[in-house]
A and B are shown apart, each in its own frame.
Chain A
Amino acid sequence: MDDRGSPPTSIRRRLLVFLSGALLLMILGASSVTYLVALRAANDAYDRSLLDPALDIADNIRVDATGARVDLPQKALEVLVYDHLDTVIFQVRSDRNQIIDGDAQLPAPPAMAPGEHRFFDRIHRGERLRLAAYRADNGYVVQVGETLNKRDRLVREILLAELVPMFLIAAVTIGLAWWGVARGLRPLAQMRNELLGRSPRDLRPIPETASPIEISPVVGAFNSLLQQLHESSTMQQRFLANAAHQLRTPLAGLQMHLELMLRQELSADVRSEVARMHGATIRASRLATQLLALAKAESVPDHGKPLQIVDLVAVAGNAARDWSALAIERKIDLGFALAPARTWGDPLLLPELLDNLIDNALRYTAAGGTVTVGTGIRDGMSYLCVEDTGPGIAAEEREKVFERFYRVPGTEGDSSGLGLAIVKEIVDRHGGAVSVGTRDGGGGTRICASFPSA
């Protein structure tokens, strides 16, 4: 990845920033046009009423021997130039550009032909003014000007009438985009939830049909990654199977030759040496089996739901065939109390689990003791229990015995400390539970694995 350091981008945020910018520019453009149009409309509306008093005043200019004057009573003049919103001023200039009446400070208007009128803007005494100027046929010029309050108000109202809906539309658009993006990205969220809900061993491809075409390339790439992972896990399993073969065959040869040696005439010390080597060989074989079982339990792909219905009674029956001879040899009464019990499970791992429980029980039970394998259904759960008359496991040790290579302090025997770790691993793989306790009536050990019934 080459985006180290840059903050994570959000599709939604990027889309919204772009959309808001574009909308803002459009609104700005539209409001400039609207402003100009509104201004023109305001001037059109009010300029006429500005020109009218100018024309009235021009009509009432009297020129005689004493000079020129506006022949209107002061009152009438006030009415003419009155406005309830704006300050109105006027000025009358003679044909020789002498100021006859009105505001003396107002500068001369642009040159006009007789009978012509003009409208123009000007700053006067720090105020923006709109002026109407009229040049009468006699050369006298009348200017009437007013401040822009009512024009501004009209422009404002027009702009407002235009802009408020525009902003509303923009807001709705942005909201829709926000919602739409969230909705559009929902398949991604679903994909995320699906992946988060998976177990680390579940390498099934994500269904591509459910995802929209924009996401399906991502799903496709992800699935090919899953496929590669799956292949490497398959390769690992194949490697384990081969390793089993490679380890066990020489161990089988070694064991066989040691047993053949033990059948010969040997001096007592040689015999005891060979017997020790024989024991070590058997332990090495068992350890290899257990390590492989553990690795296998970890590497079997987990599809959330285990593979098939396993009859625990049949599993116990196979164990009876595998373990009875050894139990008799050790003078341990290996018995069975089998009631129907089935679960969804792995048909290879569940026997492995029971083997480890029985192996452990036989290991820690003295000659003359009893080991009983039980199956059945209790509280809706199918169980597989092994109890023995061995020394038992102290309450404070009961959690630790499931740790790998853990051995209860002070116990003898040649246990690898892996048996119960394998049991735990397999139980976990099946969504089951395992408990350690004592036999009914106390004493000994009872270990029960329970699974959802099938």
Chain B
Amino acid sequence: MRMLVVEDDRLLADGLVTVLSRAGHAVDHAATGKYADSLLARTAYDLLVLDVGLPDIDGFEVLRRLRLRRSPMCVLVLTARDAVDDRVHGLDLGADDYLTKPFSVTEFEARIRALLRRNLPLEMTLSIAGLSIDQSAKRVRVHDKPVDLTPREWALLELFVTRPGRVLSKEQIAESLFNVDGELSPNAIEVHVSRLRAKIEPAGVRIRTVRGFGYLWEGTDG
């Protein structure tokens, strides 16, 4: 995948480039907003890692110009300000995700993977530990053995794998699964989750319960 890291801090930029390169991506680096903007205008990257605080034009402006060109590029915004409105601002302008500095390498990698997965073509097959997911055929295999999932379990699985490391509340799950057929009660969600667990956890993935709130997918993927 082709990626662009826009970060003016030399040390952090080097780290980000190293992490992404080691994951096998082709990575460019821009230290200023203007240079980033010119690179983005002529290159179709798969993913953009964008710092908000840049010396010339700020990250939000780079993002705004990118979206003005109707680019569907995946954007992960890095912000050092701990103001929630910065995050919201970023997402309003069309950022796909944000990370507040400082963050761990593991967290960064997980977010990148999630963003890439979100944009994967549907026919792609995902492998997470002993679990392989064929999104087009809606088929799941655990250690190469096919496992049958109900439509709701499939919808749940899709929800979890596109948001690794993110906690999903029962309300969020109910909303997301509403489209399949009808509304789900919190109890029904628990039942579906425990059935899904029984089917896929032998593959070495885990769905953690966040007591009184929801679930956290702990996929040791990548």
Q: Cβ of A250 and Cβ of B11 under 8 Å apart?
A: yes
Partner-contacting stretch, out of B15-23, B153-161, B181-189, B197-205: B15-23
* Contact residues in B for A254 (Cβ distance below 8 Å): 11
- Tell which of B104, B108, B213 has the most Cβ of chain A within 10 Å: B213
* Contact residues in A for B1 (Cβ distance below 8 Å): none
A321 to B171, CA, bound (A): 14
Partner-contacting stretch, out of B37-45, B81-89, B117-125, B138-146: B81-89
Q: Cβ of B101 and Cβ of A249 under 8 Å apart?
A: yes
Q: Cβ of B213 and Cβ of A336 under 8 Å apart?
A: yes
Contact of A250 among B9, B16, B169 (CB under 8 A): B9
Q: Cβ of A336 and Cβ of B82 under 8 Å apart?
A: no
Describe A's contact surface by its main secondary structure.
Answer: helix
Q: Cβ of B167 and Cβ of A320 under 8 Å apart?
A: yes
A352 to B82, CA, bound (A): 10
Contact of A252 among B80, B83, B169 (CB under 8 A): B80
A139 at the interface (CB under 8 A from B): no
Q: Cβ of A338 and Cβ of B81 under 8 Å apart?
A: no
B24 at the interface (CB under 8 A from A): no
Q: Cβ of B210 and Cβ of A334 under 8 Å apart?
A: yes
In chain A between 390 and 446, which residues have their CB closer than 8 angstroms to a CB of chain B? Answer: none
B105 at the interface (CB under 8 A from A): yes
Known interface pairs A257-B11, A320-B169, A335-B210; A325-B216 also in contact (CB < 8 Å): yes
A325 to B104, CA, bound (A): 12
* Contact residues in A for B15 (Cβ distance below 8 Å): 253, 256-257, 260
Q: Cβ of B82 and Cβ of A292 under 8 Å apart?
A: yes
- Nearest CB to that of A322 among chain B residues? B167
Chain B 1-30 near chain A by CB (<8 Å), digits 1 or 0: 000000001111111101100000000000
A255 at the interface (CB under 8 A from B): yes
Q: Cβ of B19 and Cβ of A260 under 8 Å apart?
A: yes
* Contact residues in B for A335 (Cβ distance below 8 Å): 210-213
A263 to B19, CA, bound (A): 11
In chain B between 65 and 99, which residues have their CB closer than 8 angstroms to a CB of chain A? Answer: 78, 80-85
A338 to B211, CA, bound (A): 11
- Nearest CB to that of A285 among chain B residues? B102
- Nearest CB to that of A351 among chain B residues? B84
A337 at the interface (CB under 8 A from B): yes
B33 at the interface (CB under 8 A from A): no
Partner-contacting stretch, out of A8-16, A181-189, A195-203, A240-248: A240-248
- Tell which of B12, B80, B84 has the most Cβ of chain A within 10 Å: B80
Would you mind naming 16 contact pairs between A and B with Cβ atoms under 8 Å apart?
A245-B80, A249-B9, A249-B51, A250-B9, A250-B12, A252-B9, A253-B14, A281-B102, A285-B102, A317-B169, A320-B214, A321-B167, A324-B208, A324-B216, A336-B210, A336-B213
For the complex with contacts A255-B103, A281-B102, 11 further pairs of A-B residues with Cβ separation under 8 Å are A248-B102, A249-B80, A250-B9, A250-B12, A253-B9, A289-B82, A317-B213, A320-B167, A321-B167, A325-B167, A335-B213
Q: Give A residues with C-beta under 8 Å from B.
A: 241, 244-245, 247-257, 259-260, 263, 281-282, 285, 289, 292-293, 317, 320-321, 324-325, 328, 333-338, 347-348, 351-352, 372
